[in-house]
Amino acid sequence: MTLPAPPADRLPDGFRVVLDPRTRRRDGGAALLGGSPLRLLRLAPRARALLTGDALTVTDPTTAALAARLLDAGLAHPHLPPVDPADVTVVVPVKDRTAELDRLLRALRADLPGTPLLVVDDGSADPAATAGVCAASGARVIRHATARGPSAARNAGLAAATTTAVAFVDSDCVPVPGWLGVLAAHLVDPRLAVVAPRVVALPADRPGWVGAYEDAVSALDMGPRPAPVAPLTGVSYVPSAALLARRTALGGGFDEDMQVAEDVDLVWRLAAAGWRVRYDPVARVAHEHPARTGAWLRRRAYYGTGAALLAQRHGSAVAPVVMSPWSAAAWGLALLGGRPGLLGAAAVLGGATAKLAPRLGDPPPAGLAATLVVRGSWSAGRTLARSVTRHHWPLVVPLLGTRRVRRLVLAAAAVDAAGAWWPHRHEVGPLRFAAGRRLEDLAYGAGLWRGALRARSVRALSPARPR
- Kindly report, residue by residue over 279-314, the tens digit of the pLDDT: 999 999 999 988 889 989 999 999 999 999 999 999
Please name the residue ranges forming H helices in 190-322: 210-217, 262-273, 293-314
Q: How far apart are CA 177 and CA 172, in angstroms?
A: 16
Residue 39 lies in a domain: yes
Total number of residues shown for the chain: 467
Residue 414 lies in a domain: yes
Q: What is the pLDDT at residue 207? A: 61
Residue 152 lies in a domain: yes
Q: How far apart are CA 464 and CA 324, in angstroms?
A: 8
Number of H helices, E strands in the chain: 15, 15
Enter the pTM of the model.
0.93
Residues 442 and 364 in one domain: yes
Residues 269 and 230 in one domain: yes
Number of compact structural domains in the chain? 3
Bridging pattern class, strands 173-175 and 276-287: antiparallel
Residue 300 lies in a domain: no
Residues 278 and 337 in one domain: no
Q: What is the pLDDT at residue 208? A: 67
Residues 26 and 98 in one domain: no
CA distances in angstroms from 188 to 64, 65, 214, listed in the order given: 13, 15, 34
Residues 128 and 249 in one domain: yes
Residues 233 and 335 in one domain: no
If DSSP codes are grouped into helix, strand and coil, which group holds residue 244?
strand
Q: What is the pLDDT at residue 2? A: 82
Residues of the chain with pLDDT under 50: none
* Burial of 337 (C-beta count, 10 Å sphere; 0-12/13-18/19+): exposed
Q: How far apart are CA 128 and CA 26, in angstroms?
A: 64
Residue 390 lies in a domain: yes
Q: How far apart are CA 20 and CA 24, in angstroms?
A: 9
Q: What is the pLDDT at residue 274? A: 96
Residues 284 and 335 in one domain: no
119 forms bridges with which residues in the sheet? 92, 141
Residues 129 and 260 in one domain: yes
Q: Do residues 185 and 81 touch, judged by C-beta distance below 8 A?
A: yes
How many CB atoms neighbour CB 418 within 10 A?
A: 14
Residues 378 and 436 in one domain: yes
42 forms bridges with which residues in the sheet? 31
pLDDT digits (tens, 9 = 90+) for 138-179: 999 999 999 999 999 999 999 999 999 999 999 999 999 999
Q: What is the pLDDT at residue 228? A: 97
Residue 221 lies in a domain: yes
Looking at 78, 98, 116, the residue that finishes a domain is: 78
Residues 249 and 345 in one domain: no
The three-state (H, E, C) secondary structure of 254-265, written as one string? CCCCCCCCHHHH
Looking at 291, 313, 347, the residue that finishes a domain is: 291
Residues 243 and 273 in one domain: yes
Parent domain of 388: 325-461
Residue 4 lies in a domain: no
Looking at 291, 311, 341, the residue that finishes a domain is: 291
Residue 24 lies in a domain: yes
Q: What is the pLDDT at residue 205? A: 62
If DSSP codes are grouped into helix, strand and coil, which group holds residue 100?
helix
The CATH number linked to 183 is: 3.90.550.10
Residues 205 and 343 in one domain: no
Q: How far apart are CA 156 and CA 142, in angstroms?
A: 8
What type of residue sits at position 354?
A
Bridging pattern class, strands 140-144 and 117-122: parallel
